[in-house]
Amino acid sequence: MHTNISIRKLEKKEDLRLIQTLEREVWNGDPIPTHQTFTVAKNGGLLLGAFYGDKLVGFSYGFPGFANGKSYLCSHMLGIHPDYQLKGIGKWLKDEQRKRAQEIGYDLITWTFDPLESRNAYLNLSKLYAISDTYLENYYGEMEDGLNKGLPSDRLQIEWWFLSERVERKWMPQISKYVRPFAVGQSENGNPTIEVEPRETHLNRVGIEVPVPTHFQMLKKNEPELALDWRMKIRTIFQTLFSAGYAVVGLRKTDEEVQYYQFVKRSTIPLN
Protein backbone atom coordinates (compact mmCIF):
# COMPACT_ATOMS: atom_id res chain seq x y z
CA MET A 1 0.00 0.00 0.00
CA HIS A 2 2.80 2.41 0.89
CA THR A 3 4.27 2.15 -2.61
CA ASN A 4 1.17 3.95 -3.88
CA ILE A 5 1.05 6.56 -1.10
CA SER A 6 3.09 9.75 -1.01
CA ILE A 7 3.34 12.22 1.87
CA ARG A 8 4.10 15.92 1.60
CA LYS A 9 3.66 19.16 3.50
CA LEU A 10 0.39 21.03 2.99
CA GLU A 11 0.89 24.79 2.71
CA LYS A 12 -1.04 26.05 -0.29
CA LYS A 13 -4.63 27.23 0.10
CA GLU A 14 -5.91 24.58 -2.33
CA ASP A 15 -4.26 21.90 -0.19
CA LEU A 16 -5.97 23.24 2.91
CA ARG A 17 -9.34 23.05 1.19
CA LEU A 18 -8.64 19.37 0.53
CA ILE A 19 -8.20 18.94 4.29
CA GLN A 20 -11.64 20.43 4.86
CA THR A 21 -13.22 17.91 2.50
CA LEU A 22 -11.45 15.02 4.23
CA GLU A 23 -12.44 16.30 7.69
CA ARG A 24 -16.10 16.11 6.69
CA GLU A 25 -15.64 12.57 5.38
CA VAL A 26 -13.88 11.38 8.55
CA TRP A 27 -15.85 13.15 11.31
CA ASN A 28 -18.96 14.51 9.60
CA GLY A 29 -18.51 17.88 11.31
CA ASP A 30 -17.56 21.46 10.56
CA PRO A 31 -13.94 21.68 9.28
CA ILE A 32 -11.21 24.02 10.47
CA PRO A 33 -11.25 27.35 8.61
CA THR A 34 -8.52 27.56 5.99
CA HIS A 35 -7.38 30.98 7.24
CA GLN A 36 -6.43 29.28 10.51
CA THR A 37 -4.60 26.30 9.00
CA PHE A 38 -2.80 28.60 6.55
CA THR A 39 -1.58 30.82 9.39
CA VAL A 40 -0.45 27.80 11.39
CA ALA A 41 1.49 26.43 8.40
CA LYS A 42 3.38 29.73 8.14
CA ASN A 43 4.15 30.05 11.87
CA GLY A 44 5.87 26.97 13.20
CA GLY A 45 3.06 24.49 12.64
CA LEU A 46 3.11 21.38 10.50
CA LEU A 47 0.42 20.03 8.18
CA LEU A 48 1.10 16.81 6.28
CA GLY A 49 -1.00 15.01 3.70
CA ALA A 50 -0.99 11.41 2.52
CA PHE A 51 -1.98 11.11 -1.14
CA TYR A 52 -3.11 8.14 -3.19
CA GLY A 53 -2.38 9.57 -6.60
CA ASP A 54 -3.99 13.02 -6.47
CA LYS A 55 -6.50 12.04 -3.77
CA LEU A 56 -5.87 13.19 -0.19
CA VAL A 57 -6.56 10.12 1.96
CA GLY A 58 -4.97 11.17 5.25
CA PHE A 59 -3.62 14.23 7.03
CA SER A 60 -2.06 15.43 10.25
CA TYR A 61 -2.39 18.93 11.66
CA GLY A 62 -0.10 20.31 14.36
CA PHE A 63 0.59 23.77 15.75
CA PRO A 64 3.18 25.20 18.14
CA GLY A 65 2.62 24.77 21.87
CA PHE A 66 4.42 26.24 24.87
CA ALA A 67 4.16 25.41 28.58
CA ASN A 68 6.47 25.54 31.59
CA GLY A 69 9.31 27.02 29.57
CA LYS A 70 9.12 24.25 26.96
CA SER A 71 8.07 24.45 23.32
CA TYR A 72 6.52 21.47 21.56
CA LEU A 73 4.36 20.55 18.60
CA CYS A 74 0.71 20.08 19.50
CA SER A 75 -0.62 17.48 17.04
CA HIS A 76 -4.29 18.35 17.07
CA MET A 77 -5.70 16.14 14.32
CA LEU A 78 -4.89 12.92 12.50
CA GLY A 79 -7.54 11.81 10.03
CA ILE A 80 -7.63 8.90 7.58
CA HIS A 81 -10.34 8.46 4.94
CA PRO A 82 -12.63 5.56 5.97
CA ASP A 83 -11.73 3.61 2.81
CA TYR A 84 -8.02 3.78 3.65
CA GLN A 85 -8.01 3.01 7.39
CA LEU A 86 -6.17 0.03 8.89
CA LYS A 87 -3.50 0.21 6.18
CA GLY A 88 -0.69 1.76 8.22
CA ILE A 89 -1.15 5.28 6.85
CA GLY A 90 -1.64 6.78 10.31
CA LYS A 91 1.71 5.50 11.55
CA TRP A 92 3.40 6.57 8.34
CA LEU A 93 2.06 10.10 8.81
CA LYS A 94 3.26 10.14 12.43
CA ASP A 95 6.74 8.95 11.43
CA GLU A 96 6.96 11.71 8.83
CA GLN A 97 5.65 14.20 11.40
CA ARG A 98 8.40 13.13 13.79
CA LYS A 99 11.09 13.60 11.12
CA ARG A 100 9.90 17.04 10.07
CA ALA A 101 9.26 18.20 13.65
CA GLN A 102 12.89 17.43 14.48
CA GLU A 103 14.00 19.47 11.45
CA ILE A 104 11.99 22.43 12.76
CA GLY A 105 13.61 22.10 16.20
CA TYR A 106 11.09 20.21 18.34
CA ASP A 107 11.84 17.15 20.48
CA LEU A 108 8.32 16.65 21.88
CA ILE A 109 4.96 16.14 20.18
CA THR A 110 1.72 16.01 22.17
CA TRP A 111 -1.84 15.09 21.29
CA THR A 112 -4.97 13.68 22.89
CA PHE A 113 -7.15 10.65 22.26
CA ASP A 114 -10.10 8.85 23.79
CA PRO A 115 -8.77 6.20 26.22
CA LEU A 116 -11.65 3.89 25.30
CA GLU A 117 -10.57 3.73 21.65
CA SER A 118 -8.20 0.78 21.87
CA ARG A 119 -7.12 0.93 18.21
CA ASN A 120 -5.80 4.47 18.70
CA ALA A 121 -4.16 3.45 21.96
CA TYR A 122 -2.26 0.65 20.24
CA LEU A 123 -0.89 3.02 17.60
CA ASN A 124 0.06 5.73 20.07
CA LEU A 125 1.64 3.55 22.75
CA SER A 126 2.73 0.24 21.28
CA LYS A 127 3.78 1.36 17.78
CA LEU A 128 4.93 4.95 18.31
CA TYR A 129 6.21 4.40 21.88
CA ALA A 130 4.61 7.53 23.31
CA ILE A 131 3.43 7.64 26.94
CA SER A 132 0.67 9.26 28.97
CA ASP A 133 0.20 10.18 32.61
CA THR A 134 -2.38 12.95 32.17
CA TYR A 135 -6.15 12.32 32.17
CA LEU A 136 -8.36 15.15 30.93
CA GLU A 137 -12.01 15.09 32.07
CA ASN A 138 -14.62 16.06 29.48
CA TYR A 139 -11.86 17.94 27.70
CA TYR A 140 -13.83 19.25 24.72
CA GLY A 141 -17.19 19.42 26.45
CA GLU A 142 -20.22 17.97 24.69
CA MET A 143 -19.35 16.87 21.15
CA GLU A 144 -21.94 16.16 18.47
CA ASP A 145 -20.02 14.08 15.93
CA GLY A 146 -20.80 10.42 15.49
CA LEU A 147 -17.78 9.09 17.37
CA ASN A 148 -18.17 11.26 20.48
CA LYS A 149 -21.85 12.15 20.83
CA GLY A 150 -23.53 11.13 24.06
CA LEU A 151 -20.51 10.78 26.35
CA PRO A 152 -18.15 13.10 28.25
CA SER A 153 -15.20 13.82 25.98
CA ASP A 154 -12.51 12.43 28.30
CA ARG A 155 -9.02 12.24 26.80
CA LEU A 156 -5.52 11.00 27.53
CA GLN A 157 -2.76 13.48 26.76
CA ILE A 158 0.06 11.83 24.88
CA GLU A 159 3.73 12.77 25.23
CA TRP A 160 5.92 11.63 22.34
CA TRP A 161 9.54 12.27 23.33
CA PHE A 162 10.73 11.16 19.93
CA LEU A 163 14.47 11.59 20.56
CA SER A 164 14.39 9.55 23.77
CA GLU A 165 15.65 6.02 24.37
CA ARG A 166 12.02 5.01 24.88
CA VAL A 167 11.23 5.89 21.24
CA GLU A 168 14.52 5.41 19.40
CA ARG A 169 15.24 2.00 20.98
CA LYS A 170 11.57 1.02 21.24
CA TRP A 171 11.97 0.59 24.98
CA MET A 172 9.39 -1.47 26.83
CA PRO A 173 9.51 -2.53 30.50
CA GLN A 174 10.87 -6.02 31.08
CA ILE A 175 8.05 -7.30 33.27
CA SER A 176 7.31 -11.01 33.19
CA LYS A 177 3.81 -10.68 34.64
CA TYR A 178 1.54 -7.66 35.03
CA VAL A 179 -0.99 -7.52 37.85
CA ARG A 180 -4.60 -7.39 36.63
CA PRO A 181 -6.60 -6.19 39.65
CA PHE A 182 -9.79 -5.11 37.84
CA ALA A 183 -12.34 -7.83 37.18
CA VAL A 184 -13.99 -8.15 33.76
CA GLY A 185 -17.52 -9.52 33.48
CA GLN A 186 -20.29 -9.67 30.90
CA SER A 187 -23.57 -7.81 30.56
CA GLU A 188 -26.87 -9.50 29.74
CA ASN A 189 -26.31 -8.42 26.13
CA GLY A 190 -22.88 -10.04 26.04
CA ASN A 191 -20.80 -6.88 26.26
CA PRO A 192 -17.80 -6.62 28.62
CA THR A 193 -18.18 -4.96 32.03
CA ILE A 194 -15.57 -3.82 34.55
CA GLU A 195 -15.47 -3.74 38.34
CA VAL A 196 -13.60 -0.75 39.74
CA GLU A 197 -12.88 -2.21 43.19
CA PRO A 198 -9.52 -3.96 42.85
CA ARG A 199 -9.21 -7.53 43.97
CA GLU A 200 -5.93 -6.71 45.71
CA THR A 201 -3.78 -3.75 46.67
CA HIS A 202 -2.04 -2.62 43.52
CA LEU A 203 -0.47 0.82 43.90
CA ASN A 204 2.91 -0.65 44.85
CA ARG A 205 3.08 -3.07 41.91
CA VAL A 206 5.78 -2.89 39.24
CA GLY A 207 3.36 -3.31 36.36
CA ILE A 208 -0.44 -3.10 36.17
CA GLU A 209 -2.86 -3.96 33.35
CA VAL A 210 -6.22 -2.22 32.95
CA PRO A 211 -8.90 -3.52 30.53
CA VAL A 212 -10.87 -1.49 27.98
CA PRO A 213 -13.45 -2.71 25.45
CA THR A 214 -12.15 -3.97 22.13
CA HIS A 215 -15.08 -2.53 20.16
CA PHE A 216 -16.15 0.52 22.12
CA GLN A 217 -18.19 2.20 19.37
CA MET A 218 -20.24 -0.97 18.94
CA LEU A 219 -20.74 -1.23 22.69
CA LYS A 220 -21.81 2.42 22.86
CA LYS A 221 -24.38 1.83 20.14
CA ASN A 222 -25.78 -1.36 21.73
CA GLU A 223 -25.61 -0.36 25.42
CA PRO A 224 -25.13 3.38 25.89
CA GLU A 225 -25.57 3.15 29.67
CA LEU A 226 -22.78 0.57 29.84
CA ALA A 227 -20.60 2.81 27.68
CA LEU A 228 -21.05 5.61 30.21
CA ASP A 229 -20.23 3.17 33.02
CA TRP A 230 -16.96 2.29 31.29
CA ARG A 231 -16.19 5.98 30.81
CA MET A 232 -16.61 6.85 34.49
CA LYS A 233 -14.83 3.77 35.85
CA ILE A 234 -11.86 4.11 33.52
CA ARG A 235 -11.67 7.78 34.55
CA THR A 236 -11.42 6.75 38.21
CA ILE A 237 -8.84 4.03 37.58
CA PHE A 238 -6.55 6.12 35.36
CA GLN A 239 -6.65 9.14 37.64
CA THR A 240 -5.82 6.96 40.65
CA LEU A 241 -2.86 5.34 38.91
CA PHE A 242 -1.54 8.60 37.48
CA SER A 243 -1.75 10.23 40.92
CA ALA A 244 0.36 7.37 42.28
CA GLY A 245 3.15 8.06 39.76
CA TYR A 246 2.24 5.57 37.05
CA ALA A 247 2.24 6.19 33.30
CA VAL A 248 0.73 4.10 30.56
CA VAL A 249 3.27 2.70 28.09
CA GLY A 250 1.50 0.09 25.99
CA LEU A 251 -1.68 -1.65 24.94
CA ARG A 252 -1.58 -5.45 24.90
CA LYS A 253 -3.79 -6.79 22.13
CA THR A 254 -5.92 -9.87 22.70
CA ASP A 255 -8.55 -11.86 20.80
CA GLU A 256 -11.00 -11.20 23.64
CA GLU A 257 -13.67 -8.55 24.18
CA VAL A 258 -11.17 -6.41 26.10
CA GLN A 259 -7.66 -5.13 25.46
CA TYR A 260 -5.20 -4.25 28.24
CA TYR A 261 -3.40 -0.99 28.95
CA GLN A 262 -0.02 -1.48 30.60
CA PHE A 263 1.10 0.84 33.41
CA VAL A 264 4.52 1.28 35.03
CA LYS A 265 6.01 3.99 37.20
CA ARG A 266 6.90 7.01 35.05
CA SER A 267 10.26 7.31 36.83
CA THR A 268 11.34 3.99 35.27
CA ILE A 269 10.80 5.13 31.65
CA PRO A 270 13.89 6.46 29.80
CA LEU A 271 12.60 9.74 28.38
CA ASN A 272 15.92 11.54 28.04
d(CA 229, CA 133): 22
Q: Is residue 176 part of a domain?
A: no
159 and 221: one domain?
no
Q: Is residue 179 part of a domain?
A: no
Q: Is residue 8 part of a domain?
A: yes
Q: How far apart are the first and last CA of the chain?
A: 34
d(CA 134, CA 145): 24
Is the entire prediction scored with pTM above 0.75? yes
Q: What CATH number does residue 158 fall under?
A: 3.40.630.30
124 and 259: one domain?
no
265 pLDDT higher than 80: yes
b/e sequence 232-248, b meaning 16+ C-beta within 10 Å = ebbbebbeebbeeebbb
Local confidence band at 198 (pLDDT 50, 70, 90 cut-offs): low
CA 197, 200, 201, 205 torsion-angle sign: negative
Per-residue model confidence (pLDDT) at position 2: 58
d(CA 224, CA 150): 8
Main-chain dihedrals φ then ψ at residue 70, nearest 5 degrees? -125, 130
d(CA 77, CA 111): 8
88 and 188: one domain?
no
Task: Print the domain residue range for 94.
Answer: 2-168
The strand ranges marked E within the chain are 5-9, 46-52, 55-67, 70-80, 109-113, 131-136, 155-160, 184-186, 192-194, 207-213, 246-252, 258-265
Q: Is residue 237 part of a domain?
A: yes
Q: Give tens-digit pLDDT for 243-259.
A: 999 999 999 999 999 99
Q: Give tens-digit pLDDT for 81-95.
A: 999 998 999 999 999
Least confident range from 127-136, 140-149, 170-179, 200-209: namely: 140-149
- Residue 202 near residue 178, CB atoms below 8 Å: no
Cα–Cα distances in angstroms (integers) from residue 188 to residues 126, 135, 185, 216, 222, in the given order:
32, 30, 10, 17, 11
119 and 34: one domain?
yes
Q: Is residue 175 part of a domain?
A: no
Local confidence band at 240 (pLDDT 50, 70, 90 cut-offs): very high
224 and 146: one domain?
no
156 and 203: one domain?
no
127 and 212: one domain?
no
48 and 136: one domain?
yes
Q: Is residue 125 part of a domain?
A: yes
Main-chain dihedrals φ then ψ at residue 258, nearest 5 degrees? -130, 150
153 and 204: one domain?
no
Local confidence band at 41 (pLDDT 50, 70, 90 cut-offs): very high
How do 192-194 and 184-186 pair as beta strands?
A: antiparallel
Q: Is residue 247 part of a domain?
A: yes
154 and 201: one domain?
no
Q: Is residue 178 part of a domain?
A: no
Q: Give tens-digit pLDDT for 164-187.
A: 999 999 999 999 999 999 999 999
How do 70-80 and 109-113 pair as beta strands?
A: parallel
20 and 152: one domain?
yes
Local confidence band at 12 (pLDDT 50, 70, 90 cut-offs): very high
Cα 259 to chain centroid, rounded: 15
Q: Which of 201, 112, 221, 222 is nearest to 156 (CA)?
A: 112
